[in-house]
Structure formats: structure tokens, C-alpha cells
């Protein structure tokens, strides 16, 4: 329950910040162009807070936090007094109206730059993208990718951490090959061509590099216990720090991953644990606990294994000065913008399945998880969603900013506005398309939630 409330709170904060900045972009440019703004609303529906400003604008927060709007004086929908006609939106030039419409998405891009600038100023704890294992018979195994090796670039794009590796391969979806440059143990740079002609993202939400057959380096994990949680099934059964798990119900295990899988597969079951304590084998009966995750029930013991520490040589902090952080934030924003456009194109061509579309539930989960990790991770998530919101709003669909810009472009060429009837029909078609996409995204969210 607390996780749900945390995710909901993080979602409301995320959406509130993004919507406020988006609508403020429209508001600010409208005022600069001499347009009278009647209402500035964060959210839709009935207002839960309202204040009339000295500038004549009604500022409000509404019940449904899934968007917002700026209502401007417009002779097409309002009765406008002759002395205020020059303040109406429709009285402005095509260029002024275009600037007002485009200001919302631009505000989202600027917000992403500022947020990422702050993130890099604070510093992002990161690990180098070192390949620790290669899956047999995988794409990576076919080219004999060495382990351990640090990934330097993907298709010429420098990669400092695993997030950039993931984004690099996501951008390569639909290509026949991907160029991977690595630095091996002898500090030699080597380049490999990976055959990704048959690689597509499907329903499974897994990291792209995992699907290609290589895994990040992980310190060695042992079957000896380094931690036993108080009042857990393990503590109640008498397990102690230093115990080494040998078997469950007589089945011997040598790897902690095997033990973990066996525990997760036995929710609320009573099993017999064979352990090694002070050189002697012991049999301990244990009743497993159970936990819910994404609609499934898993077994729970309440222990942590001993493991080697992560090598300091693989750790670093992405932290820069004021100017360099701004440059880095701008570069990251641009890369996210390019990737977003590429992914939309690949969605339209079928390279990426519509099952990968995410809706408000997935965004809420992402907001909650990133916020729980710390401020810098939440800032990174906020920037990503802000860029996506800006790009989506620029799509040439009626009801979106991009649709309005399309009509204004046609008006600029024809020197005549598109007829209201054509616009009305277009809005209905655009609204149906947007509703269909939202329905698919929400359905995907629910399927993942109860899968």
C-alpha cells in the first residue's frame, strides 16, 4: 500500500511539474505577443483551487491531473468587445500564433535541459559498462565478445554507463548490424559487428543488451549468508549469518541464483534447508514467506548472500562544473529527442511493437522507483518524460500542438485559414486516434500489472 501511495505521489509531482512548464510556455509567449489569457489551468475538470490574478487571468488547479490548458481570448469562441479585439488569439499573425503553439513543447525541452543540468551538477553515481558474461549461442557469442570488456561506443556514440548502452542499441532497432567498440583487459580497443537483423522488441520489458546476449559485470555471489532479516522466515527457522546453504529439499545447489529461484518458486511452502555451520551439516525446516510483485506471488526467505565488493575501478560519478553540466544536459536532451523521434518512426513501421507503449500506470511506477533511488535518478526520469511529452505534442495530429502547427503552416502557404468544418472533422479523427493510443497504452499497463 505504501509503495502505491509513493508511486502515486511521485506521479502527481512529475505530471504537475511537466504540465505546469508546458502550459507556462504557451502562457508566456501568448502574453509577449499581446494575447489576453483568460485561464491558466493545471489539470482538467472542476477547479479545486482558483485565484484571479491582477492581470485578468484565472489561475487554477483542477481535479483530473492528466494535463492542463491555457484558454486565450478568441473571437471564434468568445464574444469579444471591439476594444479588445487586438488582444484575441485569432487577430495575431500566423508567425505569432505558431510561436504561441510551439512554446509548450519548447518549454518541455528547456525544462529537460535545466533538470539534467542540475542532475550533472549534483553528480550521478554510475558504473562503467563492463561486460561480465556472454550467453551461449547468442548474438554476442557469435562474434566472440570478450569478457570482461568495457563498452566504449555503440554505432559511434560514446557510452559512459549502461543507460547509454541501452539507448544506443534502442536507436539501432531495425538496422541489420550494430557496431560495438570495446576495451579489453589488455586495454586494446576492438570493434565488433553484431548481427541484429532478426532482433525486435516484443512484449517482454527487458534491457536491450540482455536480449543480445551479454550481461553487466556482477561481483561474485556466494551461497554463504551475509544478512538475516529480523522476524523473517529465515530468522524464525534459526538461520544465522555465516551459514552456507547447500540444498533445498535434498536438491543440491552450487550457485546462489539457483537457490534464489528455488526460494521464489515455493511461496508459503514448508521446505527442508541443508546448511553448513561451523563445519557441520544441519537440516532446518523452514516455512517460506510470500510476497506479491506485478500480480504474481513469490517465495520469500529474508536473507542476503555474501558477495565480493564492486571494484572501485568500475565506479565513477558523472559530475561536472556549471558550464560543462549545461553542455552535458543539452547534449543528453538532444540525444533523447532524436531517440524519441526514431522510436516513433519504428513504432509506425512495426519495428517496435505497440505492446511496448506505456501509459499512466507505467509512468507512475517509473516515477516511484526513480524517486525511491534518490533525487538525481528522479531528475533523470523527469527529463526523459519531459522530452517525450514535448515530442508527442509536436506530432501532426489535430488536438495536439503539432496539429495546430500543421493548420497554421497550411494557412501560411495558402494565405487563408483552413475552414472550420475541415478543422472540426480533423479534430474528431485526431481525438479518436489519440483515444485509441491511450487505450492501447493503458491496456498494456494493466496486462503488465496483472501478468
Instruction: Write out the H or E segment, with its range, that includes residue 209.
Output: helix 208-211
The answer to whether residue 189 is catalytic is no
Q: Which residues of 376-394 are buried (b: 16+ CB within 10 A; e: fewer)?
A: bbbbbbbbbbbbbbbbbbb
Active site residues: 23
Amino acid at each position: 500500500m505504501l509503495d502505491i501511495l509513493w508511486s502515486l505521489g511521485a506521479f502527481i509531482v512529475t505530471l504537475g511539474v511537466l504540465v505546469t512548464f508546458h502550459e507556462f510556455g504557451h502562457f508566456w509567449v501568448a502574453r509577449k505577443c499581446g494575447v489576453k489569457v483568460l485561464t491558466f489551468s493545471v489539470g482538467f475538470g472542476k477547479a479545486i483551487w482558483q485565484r484571479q490574478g491582477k492581470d485578468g487571468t484565472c489561475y487554477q488547479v483542477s481535479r483530473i491531473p492528466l494535463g492542463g490548458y491555457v484558454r486565450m481570448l478568441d473571437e471564434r469562441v468568445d464574444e469579444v468587445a471591439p476594444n479588445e479585439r487586438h488582444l484575441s488569439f485569432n487577430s495575431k499573425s500566423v508567425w505569432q500564433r505558431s510561436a504561441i503553439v510551439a512554446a509548450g513543447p519548447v518549454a518541455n525541452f528547456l525544462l529537460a535541459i535545466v533538470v539534467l543540468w542540475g542532475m550533472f551538477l549534483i553528480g550521478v553515481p554510475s558504473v562503467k559498462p563492463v561486460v561480465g558474461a556472454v550467453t551461449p549461442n547468442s548474438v554476442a557469442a557469435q562474434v566472440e565478445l570478450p569478457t570482461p570488456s568495457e563498452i566504449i561506443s555503440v554505432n559511434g556514440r560514446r557510452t559512459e554507463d549502461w543507460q547509454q548502452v541501452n539507448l544506443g542499441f534502442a536507436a539501432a532497432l531495425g538496422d541489420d548490424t550494430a557496431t560495438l567498440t570495446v576495451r579489453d583487459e589488455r586495454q586494446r580497443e576492438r570493434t565488433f559487428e553484431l548481427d541484429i537483423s532478426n532482433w525486435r522488441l516484443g512484449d517482454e520489458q527487458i534491457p536491450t543488451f540482455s536480449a543480445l546476449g551479454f550481461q553487466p559485470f556482477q561481483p561474485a555471489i556466494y551461497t554463504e549468508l551475509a544478512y538475516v532479516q529480523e522476524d523473517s522466515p529465515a530468522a524464525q527457522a534459526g538461520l544465522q549469518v555465516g551459514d552456507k546453504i547447500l540444498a533445498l529439499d535434498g536438491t543440491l545447489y552450487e550457485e546462489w541464483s539457483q537457490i534464489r529461484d528455488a526460494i521464489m518458486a515455493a511461496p508459503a511452502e514448508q521446505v527442508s534447508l541443508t546448511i553448513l555451520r561451523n563445519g557441520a551439516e544441519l537440516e532446518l525446516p523452514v516455512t517460506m514467506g510470500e510476497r506479491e510483485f506485478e500480480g504474481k506471488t513469490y517465495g520469500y526467505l529474508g536473507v542476503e548472500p555474501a558477495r565480493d565488493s564492486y571494484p572501485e575501478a568500475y565506479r565513477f560519478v558523472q559530475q561536472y562544473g556549471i558550464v560543462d553540466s549545461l553542455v552535458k544536459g543539452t547534449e543528453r536532451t538532444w540525444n533523447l529527442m532524436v531517440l524519441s523521434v526514431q522510436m516513433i518512426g519504428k513504432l509506425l513501421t512495426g519495428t517496435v511493437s505497440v505492446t511496448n507503449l506505456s501509459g499512466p500506470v507505467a509512468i507512475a511506477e517509473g516515477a516511484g522507483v526513480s524517486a525511491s533511488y534518490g533525487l538525481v535518478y528522479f531528475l533523470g526520469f523527469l527529463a526523459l518524460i519531459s522530452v517525450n511529452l514535448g515530442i508527442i505534442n509536436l506530432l501532426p495530429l489535430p488536438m495536439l500542438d503539432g496539429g495546430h502547427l500543421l493548420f497554421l503552416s497550411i494557412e501560411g502557404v495558402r494565405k487563408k485559414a483552413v475552414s472550420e468544418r475541415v478543422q472540426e472533422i480533423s479534430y474528431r479523427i485526431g481525438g479518436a486516434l489519440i483515444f485509441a493510443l491511450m487505450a492501447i497504452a493503458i491496456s498494456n499497463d494493466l496486462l503488465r500489472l496483472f501478468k
